[in-house]
Structure 1
């Protein structure tokens, strides 16, 4: 691949990755989004200002709400959380009209570190590949070892797996399968 084709290919990859990153804030429960730690939801009962709160999903997945107490929100969709609050509050407020609104998405997250223009934590609002994450982090720095990028994935049992990513091979159109979909908690390391 000559130099001009390579530059065009890299520009197109970065353009689509950055353009699609604008969708991060467009998450709704319509796509089946499941709440996770640090997400912010507003729960309210129509007609009762005392029963309106913004709550943050705790690291254990729980939230607290008046008359309801603690309940599990992590792993639930907005509709499921609304129904759970309604079931628990109906004892105190018959025919309660419960509203749950996703105010801020803070989960799931990935991390890009090392020799990129802007190392950062990225909130994934949609599926994201290694190249897209690198684009969101501003691309590789001039001193990056682009042939030895790794993705570190930690599993719930504490074990880790490392996936190798050679940016140079990918950019030349070889070994495209190494541009894997990232999973929540993954760390992309650029040496």
Structure 2
């Protein structure tokens, strides 16, 4: 009887060790690449809530700072109902030049985004066991550390090494990220780049 009890105890200990090892290791998805493959070709696409500074060379009376309305359009002097959502600042500059060409000879326009909110496809979301789950405007070269800082870090219940990134730019492919290693152990190799549209999911640990 004592021998059987000892065997059962050893089996239970081995099972517990296996569970602990699984909790300590990364997720079941492939690790997120340190450098996002198409980040270098990224161009910000304007969305509702952004603010645009439109400058018309030698025509200051036609220059203006305008918001992108909820319907994705902007209005400026001599330019009405121009669709801005989903376009780059360079594309909008060319559209404004075309519209002003009816009134001004060879207009030269520069458009700068001065306040970023972005459409859903241009945001990064963090959900689950972050202190402040939220949607963040994407910035070029944004990393998972930037996302954690903006969202207040991990809660005490977070299982950071089981976190995943859902990458919309790659058909919602999932990647594992090691947030505990990054935050608690200072492992910089776990600090991976994000892409616009990414969703960072931080699960709760069992213990």
Tell me the TM-score normalised to structure 1 length: 0.62
Q: Which residue of 2 aligns with 1:189?
A: 201
Q: 2:155 aligns with which of 141, 159, 170?
A: 141
Q: Which residue of 2 aligns with 1:86?
A: 97
Q: Deviations over 1:61-92 (max 9, x none)?
A: x5455644555543323x44334312331222
In 2: Cα distance, 1:86 partner to 1:187 partner: 37
Give me the CA root mean square deviation.
Answer: 3.4
Distance change (3 Å), C-alpha of 1:161 and 1:93: same
Q: Which residue of 2 aligns with 1:102?
A: 113
> SS at 2:200's partner residue?
strand
Structure 1 stretch displaced more, 118-127 or 163-172: 163-172
Larger radius of gyration: 2
Structure 1 stretch displaced more, 108-117 or 124-133: 124-133
Q: How many residues align?
A: 154
In 2: Cα distance, 1:98 partner to 1:76 partner: 14
Instruction: Point out where structure 2 has 5 or more consecutive residues left out of the alignment.
Output: 1-41
Tell me how far 1:98 sits from its aligned partner: 4.3
Tell me how far 1:105 sits from its aligned partner: 1.2
> SS at 1:151's partner residue?
strand
| 1:131 is the counterpart of 2:145 | yes
Distance change (3 Å), C-alpha of 1:166 and 1:76: closer
> SS at 2:153's partner residue?
coil
Q: More strand by proportion, 1 or 2?
A: 1
In 1: Cα distance, 2:154 partner to 2:145 partner: 10
The answer on whether the counterparts of 2:130 and 2:154 sit within 8 Å (CA) in structure 1 is: yes
Q: 1:36 aligns with which of 46, 49, 52?
A: 46
Tell me how far 1:142 sits from its aligned partner: 0.6
